């Protein structure tokens, strides 16, 4: 009988090995995942949700629902872009980007990226949103990990910003990386 067969049969001499493997598997297959779904709040008071219940039947329209994607968001009317979900303890989580001001509300922690003092305007401000999915393979299966990037980009406009080494109209990006456990990291471009 092989060691694997002994492990699967629960041979008492293999209990320590089984325990070690079980602990390893538990760590690899139970990532503290924070499922987040987006919701777009518009200036006219309406909203558009991701509608992650894809494949559910709506008897009022007599149709199957489709999951909205980020391309469905009308950025010309967008006021707040929100990621919302519930963590493993049942606590609601919310990460909001206020589009016009660039203000971020990261689950109650409010912050704003500093913009260069001589910059008078940021034009063409729009939301950046990505969900990065990584599948980690192990000898015992795979784990899917989701990370979210939320932020905005626009173009600098201002008097004498060339003296700062910035071209008029140059792209600016401000992004927050939201990890599976809710930890946030700030990232900048210019």
Query: CB-side exposure of 161: number of CA atoms within 13 Å?
Result: 20
Residue with tokens 């709506």: 58
Cα separation, 40 vs 28, in Å, equals 34
State residue 29's pLDDT score. Answer: 44
Over pLDDT 70: what percentage of the chain?
Answer: 69
pLDDT tens digit sequence for 81-100: 999 988 778 888 899 999 88
66-89 average pLDDT score: 87
pLDDT at 118: 61
The pLDDT value given to residue 165 = 78
CA of residue 169 relative to chain centroid, distance = 28
pLDDT in tens, 28-52: 444 456 678 899 999 999 998 887 6
Residue 142, φ and ψ in degrees, nearest 5: -130, 160
pLDDT of 14 strictly over 70: no
Task: Identify which has the larger pLDDT, 142 or 22.
Answer: 142
Stated pTM of the model: 0.69
Average pLDDT over residues 52-81: 75
**Distance between CA atoms of residues 155 and 162, nearest Å:** 14
Task: Give the model's pLDDT for residue 30.
Answer: 44
Q: What is the mean pLDDT of residues 73-82?
A: 93
Domain ranges of the chain: 1-30, 31-189
Mean pLDDT of 66-86: 88
pLDDT at residue 123 above 90?
no
- Tell the burial category of 81 from Cβ atoms under 10 Å away from its Cβ (0-12, 13-18, 19+): buried
Quick: pLDDT tens for 137-181.
877 777 778 889 999 888 888 777 777 778 888 888 889 998 887
Q: Specify the DSSP class assigned to residue 92.
A: E
Q: Which one is predicted more confidently, 60 or 16?
A: 60
How do the residues of the chain divide into helix, strand and coil, expressed in percent and rounded to 5?
A: 15, 45, 40
């Amino acid at each position: 009988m092989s060691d694997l067969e002994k492990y699967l049969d629960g041979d008492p001499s293999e209990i320590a090995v089984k325990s070690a493997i079980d602990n390893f598997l538990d760590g690899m297959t139970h990532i503290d995942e924070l499922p987040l779904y987006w919701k777009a709040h518009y200036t006219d008071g309406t909203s558009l949700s991701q509608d992650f219940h894809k494949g559910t039947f709506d008897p009022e329209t007599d149709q199957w629902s489709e999951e909205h994607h980020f391309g469905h968001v009308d950025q010309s009317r967008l006021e707040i872009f929100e990621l919302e979900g519930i963590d493993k303890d049942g606590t609601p989580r919310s990460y909001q980007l206020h589009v016009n001001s660039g203000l971020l509300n990261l689950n109650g922690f409010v912050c704003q990226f500093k913009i260069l003092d001589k910059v008078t305007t940021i034009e063409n401000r729009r939301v950046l949103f990505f969900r990065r999915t990584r599948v980690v393979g192990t000898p015992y299966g795979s784990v899917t990990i989701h990370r979210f990037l939320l932020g905005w980009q626009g173009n600098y406009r201002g008097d004498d910003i060339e003296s700062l080494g910035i071209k008029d109209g140059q792209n600016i990006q401000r992004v927050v990386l939201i990890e599976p456990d809710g930890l946030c990291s700030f990232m900048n471009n210019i």
